[in-house]
Structure 1
Amino acid sequence: MKIAFIYPGQGAQYAGMGKDIYEKYEEAREIFEKADKALGFSISKLCFEGPEEELMKTENTQPAILTVCVALTKVLQNRGIKADVTGGLSLGEYASLVLSEALDFEDAVRLVKNRGKYMQEVVPQGVGTMAAILGLENEVVEEICRVASEVGIVEPANYNCPGQLVISGEVKAVERAVELAKERGAKRAVVLAVSAPFHCSMLKKAGELLQKDLEKVEIKDLKITVISNVTADYAKKEEVKDLLVKQVSHPVLWEQSVKKMIEEGVDTFIEIGPGKTLTGFVKKIDKSKAAYNFENEESLLKTLSALGV
């Protein structure tokens, strides 16, 4: 069995995430306590109790999800489950870098708080948006973006799985792309309820601001292989900072990243963190591979049982 730990991105959050694991496992509590101390406020309380409107703020969402992912990972590792390779969707890559010991958790949680703030602030609310296009080939959606870009910026943002691509850009251009996608026979083309046009060139400034923070952080040798979602290839130590900067304004190559892990012999994926969106994507990319999720005590027991632990 060759195992990949995979980590979700923004959008997976919900009030109550990680609470039962925090209450039961000392190693998880330690991570939440470290996060509270590093951030100077109780991200734990926000994870467990909300309120939703505070948890939904990008600058809170990102450190909240990262903290839950890392806390859960410690629990899994203490049960003897080890990853051979790891990858995360956008924000999730920070959890992969913590797992690989390239990035200290405290540094990572502070970085993603600022990352969320920059991503939210560089484009005024109402200027940009995103849309999900389902049921069309990637090449068709890419062509639709080229045509719709006559009215403004619109670009592929998330290559999630076959037949599911999220686009991002200026409101008018995204709406035009949605119309074109429907004309081309998309099963579904819908504008998403998001606060910013993530993973497109409009967020380049956010990446530049993040770069200044990254300059103050040390990247150490990677102990576990990390697949970067900017390149869908190995992240090398000397490239990590540059990849994290690019990630903010470049498309997330998730489908391609999962295929790369499969090429490397991965046959078992464990999604660690809130939700099970990535587990669904893996099944759509290659249904012959095993995919499990761990977000609470119930799913932990199911996953351990499936792995024969």
Structure 2
Amino acid sequence: MKKIAFVFPGQGAQYVGMGKEISNQYKVADEIFQEASLSVGYDMKNMCFEGPEEELKKTENTQPAILTTCIAIAKVLEEKGIHPHITAGLSLGEYASLVISGAMEFKDAVALVKKRGKYMQEAVPLGVGTMAAILGMEREDLYKALEKGKEFGIVEAANFNSPGQIVISGEIVAVEKTCEFAKELGAKKAVVLPVSAPFHCSMLIEAGRNLSKELENIEIKDLKVPVIANVNGGYYKDSSQVKDLLIKQVSQSVLWEDSVIKMLHEEIDTFIEIGPGKSLSGFIKKISKQEDKKVDIYNVEDIKTLEAVVDAVLK
């Protein structure tokens, strides 16, 4: 029997048209889009299916749109009899994992991430912060580059995505200088990313404080499926940890590589990336190769990929 992990992407995976095919064909998916519209106060189908792209790219729209698409598709998989043994998501994707685990109601989560996106965007004025991907560099060497970069301002490790792919975040000059130092220390490439805010660094502590006030009004239930947290790469021990770890997640590093290694050590042999894009599939492929584990990796974002996963997993 296959041991399955559902994994969910973060911000940046969005595109106009995501979820449309599956929503048109499956009632359970369509109902999620309708529920989202009621929770956020605008037509979620229109936002995801028609855009325009500039509206979809706004952080406070992107986050609920991706979450809705992920949950709509996950509900179809569950309806077909495919259920996860473990679930994890990258940054925003962790909210989808908590919904699938039963810890959070979807209607609460989608309204919450709309506010999360707004708070993250507002925490740092445009033109002050940025992020960059550092490719082909070990963590220890990156820490050396970060130490030098910190002389020019705030700069921190934001995402440990996979072997040789780490994202840094902070003030623009400090990030640019760290990119230079990283290349001097042997990084293959350092690329400033087209993002609107420096996510997952201490510059977003205020966003976490604002999020904590919203979380006070949300009921957290027992987790029925184990969820791995970004902040520590380990399981949520129980529902009492959920709010604290979600607050910390806004301004701390995302330990995605550690999270995948944890799942591999739990003998997960089938990863299903659910939602727009397949960036997580690429990360998991690299991590599983490094760990010398043979796994099946799928992504589901439309009818074709859905049918392929159903055929493969339920055969």
TM interval, shorter chain, is over 0.9
Partner of 1:165: 166
Partner of 2:300: 294
Query: CA separation in 2, counterparts of 1:135 and 1:82?
Result: 35
Partner of 1:176: 177
Q: Counterpart amino acid of 1:202? A: M
- How far does residue 186 in structure 1 lie from its aligned partner after superposition? 1.3
Q: Secondary structure, in 3 states, of the residue corresponding to 1:199?
A: coil
Say what the alpha-carbon RMSD is for the aligned residues.
0.7
Partner of 1:70: 71
What whole-Å deviation, never above 9, does each CA across 1:28-85 have from its counterpart, x for those lacking one?
A: 0010000001111112111001000000000000000000000000100011101000
- How far does residue 239 in structure 1 lie from its aligned partner after superposition? 0.7
Partner of 1:304: 310
Query: CA separation in 1, counterparts of 2:45 and 2:95?
Result: 18
Q: Secondary structure, in 3 states, of the residue corresponding to 1:242?
A: helix
- How far does residue 139 in structure 1 lie from its aligned partner after superposition? 1.3
Query: CA separation in 2, counterparts of 1:139 and 1:270?
Result: 31
- How far does residue 306 in structure 1 lie from its aligned partner after superposition? 2.0
Q: Secondary structure, in 3 states, of the residue corresponding to 1:233?
A: coil
- How far does residue 261 in structure 1 lie from its aligned partner after superposition? 0.9
Query: CA separation in 2, counterparts of 1:289 and 1:147?
Result: 39
Query: CA separation in 2, counterparts of 1:229 and 1:91?
Result: 10
Partner of 2:97: 96
Q: Secondary structure, in 3 states, of the residue corresponding to 2:186?
A: coil
Query: CA separation in 2, counterparts of 1:237 and 1:143?
Result: 37
Equivalent residues in 2 for 1:143-222 (5 A)? 143-222=144-223
Q: Which moved more, 1:26-35 or 1:134-143?
A: 134-143
Q: Counterpart amino acid of 1:165? A: I
Percent of aligned pairs with the same amino acid: 61
- How far does residue 185 in structure 1 lie from its aligned partner after superposition? 2.1
Q: Counterpart amino acid of 2:310? A: L
TM-score normalised by structure 2 residue count = 0.97
Work out the number of aligned pairs and report it.
Answer: 309
Structure 1 segments unaligned to the other structure (5+ residues): none
Q: Counterpart amino acid of 2:296? A: A
TM-score normalised by structure 1 residue count = 0.99
Q: Counterpart amino acid of 2:102? A: E
Q: Secondary structure, in 3 states, of the residue corresponding to 2:81?
A: coil
What whole-Å deviation, never above 9, does each CA across 1:110-163 have from its counterpart, x for those lacking one?
A: 000000000000100010000000001011112211111011000000000000
Query: CA separation in 2, counterparts of 1:74 and 1:192?
Result: 32
Query: CA separation in 2, counterparts of 1:55 and 1:154?
Result: 28
2:282 counterpart of 1:277:
no
Q: Secondary structure, in 3 states, of the residue corresponding to 1:190?
A: strand
Q: Counterpart amino acid of 2:275? A: G
Query: CA separation in 1, counterparts of 2:191 and 2:207?
Result: 26
Q: Which moved more, 1:61-70 or 1:179-188?
A: 179-188
Q: 1:262 aligns with which of 261, 264, 270?
A: 264
Q: Counterpart amino acid of 2:14? A: Q
Partner of 1:248: 250
Partner of 2:116: 115
Query: CA separation in 2, counterparts of 1:308 and 1:88?
Result: 23
Query: CA separation in 1, counterparts of 2:257 and 2:295?
Result: 14
Q: Secondary structure, in 3 states, of the residue corresponding to 1:77?
A: helix
- How far does residue 181 in structure 1 lie from its aligned partner after superposition? 1.2
Query: CA separation in 2, counterparts of 1:306 and 1:152?
Result: 49
Query: CA separation in 2, counterparts of 1:149 and 1:40?
Result: 42
What whole-Å deviation, never above 9, does each CA across 1:199-226 have from its counterpart, x for those lacking one?
A: 0000000000000000000100000000
Q: Secondary structure, in 3 states, of the residue corresponding to 2:151?
A: coil
Runs of 4+ in 1 over 4 A off after TM superposition: none
Query: CA separation in 1, counterparts of 2:221 and 2:266?
Result: 23
Q: Secondary structure, in 3 states, of the residue corresponding to 1:269?
A: strand
Query: CA separation in 2, counterparts of 1:192 and 1:35?
Result: 29
What whole-Å deviation, never above 9, does each CA across 1:221-240 have from its counterpart, x for those lacking one?
A: 00000000111001121110
